Amino acid sequence: MPDAPPPERFRTFLILGAPGSGKGTQGKVLGSIPRFHHLACGDVFRSLDTRTPLGQKFVEYSSRGELVPDDVTVQLWNANVKQRVDSHMFKPEIDFLVLDGIPRNVEQAKFMESHIDVLRVFHLSCPDRTELARRLRKRALKDNRFDDANEAVIQNRFATYEAETKPILDYYAGDRIVDIDASQAPAKVLYDILAGVMTLDAWKELEKMKI
Ligand code: ADP
């Protein structure tokens, strides 16, 4: 085990894209590779007991295709990531954090600034909303996602993405943004993400460590 102290801010990759762009698919695969720890905000919300006030809030907002308010979202995220660090599931001194679904607007990005050092933002881009809606309808059936089953909710989620989430790209503007064509096969999207990871100095340093 290396003796390096944990970094002040988590070394982080963001996966950003419209609903259906494949953030979760890529996040899961990356998270199964040693030294990448995947955290999907939507999964954290879905794991809440829907009888609790927070669980009810999630159902209320997500069923309309809206974002859960920022204060509760960021609090929940903080608590969840702390649990993962305390239980050594996520080891900040040697792992990269792969975030999917958070931050979801500029306000959240600002709140999280003191916790995460964003090394790359992988933007899974797919202007073809018909293709994304097709993927969501398929997922609704397979994964029992109530927020993907209704056409009006799907359209509202796209509108929320355009208005609230996409501006994050300007917030992090610069070399950190990697645009990836999300209509490609999942394996090719993964290949493009890994190519973006492997040009980083932080990656090269990690590669030298024997863990
Ligand atoms: P997808 O992968 O299709 O984009 P998610 O599973 O990430 O969807 O999120 C499902 C729902 O959970 C969102 O529509 C939203 O209501 C809520 N949610 C997830 N992450 C956040 C967040 N960071 N801020 C506010 N609401 C969120």
Q: Which atom of ligand 1 is nearest to the CA of 161?
A: 4
Mutate to test the pocket of ligand 1, among 62, 134, 142, 162 (most ligand atoms within 8 A of CB): 62
Provide the token pair at 38.
Answer: 């995947």
The 10 Å Cβ neighbour count of residue 9 is 15
On the question of pLDDT at 124 being above 60, the answer is yes
> Considering the entire predicted model, what is its pTM?
0.92
**Nearest residue CA, atom 6 of ligand 1?**
42
Tell me the domains of the chain and their CATH numbers. Answer: 10-39+95-203 (3.40.50.300)
Region 177-192: mean pLDDT is 97
Q: Which of 166, 167, 170 is nearest to 19 (CA)?
A: 166
What are the tens digits of pLDDT across the range 28-68? 999 999 999 999 999 999 999 999 999 999 999 999 999 99
pLDDT, averaged across the chain = 94
On the question of pLDDT at 123 being above 80, the answer is yes
Q: Which atom of ligand 1 is nearest to the CA of 65?
A: 14
Terminal C-alpha separation, the chain: 6
**Nearest residue CA, atom 5 of ligand 1?**
42
